[in-house]
Amino acid sequence: MAFGDISLTASMRANLVSLQQTSDLLGRTQERLATNKKVNSALDNPASFFAAREATQRAGLLSGLKDNIGEAIQQVKVADTGVKAMVTLIEGLRGQLSQARNALGEGSTSATSLATIATQYNSIIKQMDNISQVDASYKGINFLKSDSVTVNFNEKASTSLTLTGFDGSTGGLLISGGNAAGTPANGTLAAANINSNANIQLVEDSLNNALTTLRTESAKLANNLTIMSTRQEFITGMVNNLQEGADKLTLADSNEEGANLLALQTRQQLSTTALSLASQAAQSVLRLF
């Protein structure tokens, strides 16, 4: 049966419409209290809804970038740890050269003693190559093997930082084998390479140059680490600001909505009472029977 098929008095119809409007407002207020949002769809407030969604989506994209920056930071930290280990091992190499120099000074220049020193030296060289070429890797990236990574700082990839490694092998560091020409021989020694102070000095010079290279590269790593840490903090602040902006557009005031709920419940009761009073005129016809 259609609504118009039932005849209502004007006062009853007015009170019924008021009661229906109050019920709609009650439903909206209860939804806001349940979700803690005053804008739950584009129908509530199109401008606020789409602006908040854009801010939230950008915050999500930036959060993903922050994770990528965190991974790059770990890769740089692993490389820096590798550089520090290499520096320590080079000091060990210098110690072996000191032993060779002392042996020459004492007149102990037998091939056996120099060969022992060379073997110990070469053992350290092997560990240096193991660290730089194998172990100083984080998720497949090794900045001591000249690997390169580009880290984006915004969702459009319009700002970024390219991290480029270097060859941290003993050959890449030009650690000399101590031959007369000073030509690198992958850093390894034979007894003949340290049988004179001149040859020992050639090897030591290459170690000093390697230390200079490592310190230079370590400074670059530290600089990149500072940049990425700063950008990571900046992105964290941006994400918080974007989320806060979205919340201001959509979040409901629970105190206000609670007061609205009480007011609407009171209005609903009054509307029901008013509808009952309006129907009394129609009910008076029953007295005729």
Residue 229 is assigned to a structural domain of this protein: yes
More confident residue, 38 or 65: 65
Q: Is residue 29 helix, strand or coil?
A: helix
Between 156 and 279, the more confident residue is: 156
* In-domain check, residue 24: no
For the segment 76-101, the average pLDDT, to the nearest whole number, is 93
Angle of helix 111-130 versus helix 46-105 axis, rounded to 10: 180
Domain-located, residue 150 = yes
Report which of 152, 172, 170, 171 is spatially closest to residue 160, judged by C-alpha positions. 152
pLDDT exceeds 80 at position 138: yes
Establish if 221 belongs to a structural domain.
Answer: yes
The reply to whether 2 falls in a domain is: no
Mean pLDDT of 187-207: 85
pLDDT mean across residues, the chain: 83
Q: What is the residue range of 128's domain?
A: 70-249
Domain count, the chain: 1
pLDDT at 62 over 60: yes
- In the predicted model, is pLDDT for residue 183 greater than 60? no
Q: What is the pLDDT of residue 147?
A: 94
The model's confidence at residue 40, banded by pLDDT at 50, 70 and 90, is confident
pLDDT at residue 213 above 50? yes
Residue 7 has pLDDT above 80, yes or no: no
Residue appearing with tokens 């989506």 = 57
pLDDT at 197: 87
Is 7 a member of any domain? no
Report helix, strand and coil shares of the chain as percent, to nearest 5.
Answer: 70, 5, 20
- In a domain, residue 65? The reply is no
Sequence-distant (6+) residues with CB within 8 A of 252 are 32, 33, 35, 36, 37, 38
Would you say residue 286 has pLDDT above 90? no
User: What residue type is assigned to position 121 of the chain?
Assistant: Y
pLDDT tier, 285 (very low <50, low <70, confident <90, very high otherwise): low
Burial class (CB in 10 A: 0-12, 13-18, 19+), 29: buried
Instruction: Write the CATH number for 122.
Output: 1.20.1330.10
Q: pLDDT grade, residue 137 (50/70/90)?
A: very high
pLDDT at res. 93? 92
Q: What is the pTM of this model?
A: 0.72
Mean pLDDT across the stretch 3-32? 72
Is 180 within the bounds of a domain?
yes
Say yes or no to pLDDT of 257 above 80: no
